[in-house]
Structures are given as structure tokens and as C-alpha cells.
Amino acid sequence: MLNDENTLRTQADVIVYIRHLAAGEVNDLVPANALEGVGHPEDLFLVSSAEGQTLAIVEGRDAAFAAARLHDLTPVSVH
């Protein structure tokens, strides 16, 4: 992966944080109609960069970890 300066990222740069979203948090992050197709809105997980930027909201913890790994990122669970 490359960063903004087009140099190779170090291992520490590819860490992403995954945490469970409380119901109220989801409403603050996405429009109300964005949850229409979600089977279990109580099972949503936030994937964020080390800088705190939201990268994805994924249904299911295992799916969040798999999505991070699919993009060559190192997922870390946060409580």
C-alpha cells in the first residue's frame, strides 16, 4: 500500500480498529434509509483508521475482520 507521499507504508500504518456500534451511534453516522437492507442493525461494527476516520460499517464482527484483511489491513478489536 502507498500513503499520500507515495512511499511504502509500514506495518503500523495498516492497522484498523474494529468496534461494535451502539444503536444510537449508527443513527449519527448514516442516513436513516441506509439501514433498510440491514438484517441485524444491532450487530453493526465500525472499521476505522488509526487516525479515527470511518472506513466502513459492516454487519457482523467476523465480516468486519474479513473485510479488513481482504484489503490488506490488520484489524484490531477495540472495546
User: Is the pLDDT at 31 greater than 90, yes or no?
Assistant: no
Residue 8 lies in a domain: no
Give the pLDDT band of residue 25 (cuts 50, 70, 90).
confident
Residue 43 lies in a domain: yes
Q: Is residue 73 part of a domain?
A: yes
Does 2 map to a domain?
no
Round the CA-based radius of gyration of the chain to a whole number and report it: 14
Number of structural domains found in the chain:
1
Calculate what percentage of the chain has a pLDDT beyond 90: 52
Asked whether the predicted pLDDT for residue 19 surpasses 60, the reply is yes
Question: Is 51 inside a domain boundary?
Answer: yes
Kindly tell me the sign of the dihedral angle through the C-alpha atoms of 27, 29, 32, 33.
negative
Structural domain boundaries enclosing 48: 14-77
Q: How confident is the model at residue 79 (pLDDT cuts 50, 70, 90)?
A: confident
Edge-to-edge strand ranges of the sheet holding 15-20:
54-59, 44-49, 15-20, 74-77
- pLDDT band for 13, please (50, 70, 90 cuts): low
Count of Cβ atoms closer than 10 Å to residue 57 Cβ: 19
With bands split at pLDDT 50, 70 and 90, how would you rate the model's confidence at 1? very low
